[in-house]
C-alpha cells in the first residue's frame, strides 16, 4: 500500500529548480500535467528511482512540493538532507539569475567541503 508524502518547499521557479538539480547531477525529466477543468497545463519534474517509485516535484499553484512514497525512498541521503541540498543550490541559482537581470555577473561559485557555497558577483559602473 502506497502512502504518498507531500512536502512543502519554497521552490517557485521551474527554471531555477532545474538548474539546481543539474548542478547536483540529479537526473530528472519534465512532465506536462493538463488540468482537466481548465484548458491549461503546468510542468512537474520527475526524478526517476531504480525501484520504479519516482520522486516528483509537483506544482500546487504556488510552489513545487515534493511528492514521494517514503517507504520506497532510494536516494543516497535522507529526505531532509536531499531537500536541503536542493534548497541551497536553488538559492544560489536565484541569486545569480536575479542579479544578472540588474547587471551583475558571477565571478566565482565555489562549493566548500563543509557544504557551504561562496558566490562572488561583480558589476561595473559605466557612468563617469
pLDDT in tens, 115-125: 788 889 998 88
For residue 43, give Cα distances in angstroms to 55, 84, 100: 14, 22, 25
Give the distance, in angstroms, between the CA of residue 81 and the centroid of all CA atoms in the same chain. Answer: 13
Q: Is this prediction's pTM over 0.75?
A: yes
Q: Which residues of the chain have a pLDDT value below 50?
A: 1
pLDDT in tens, 23-40: 999 999 999 887 776 667
Question: Residue 2 has what pLDDT?
Answer: 59
Amino acid at each position: 500500500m502506497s502512502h504518498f508524502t507531500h512536502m512543502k518547499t519554497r521552490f517557485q521557479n521551474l527554471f531555477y529548480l532545474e538548474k539546481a538539480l543539474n548542478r547536483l547531477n540529479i537526473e530528472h525529466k519534465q512532465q506536462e500535467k493538463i488540468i482537466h477543468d481548465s484548458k491549461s497545463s503546468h510542468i512537474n519534474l520527475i526524478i526517476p528511482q531504480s525501484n520504479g517509485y519516482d520522486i516528483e516535484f509537483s506544482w500546487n499553484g504556488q510552489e513545487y512540493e515534493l511528492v514521494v512514497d517514503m517507504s520506497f525512498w532510494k536516494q543516497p541521503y535522507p529526505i531532509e538532507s536531499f531537500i536541503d541540498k536542493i534548497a541551497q543550490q536553488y538559492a544560489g541559482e536565484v541569486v545569480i539569475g536575479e542579479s544578472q537581470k540588474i547587471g551583475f555577473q558571477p565571478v566565482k561559485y565555489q562549493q566548500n567541503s563543509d557544504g557551504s557555497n561562496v558566490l562572488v558577483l561583480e558589476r561595473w559602473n559605466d557612468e563617469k
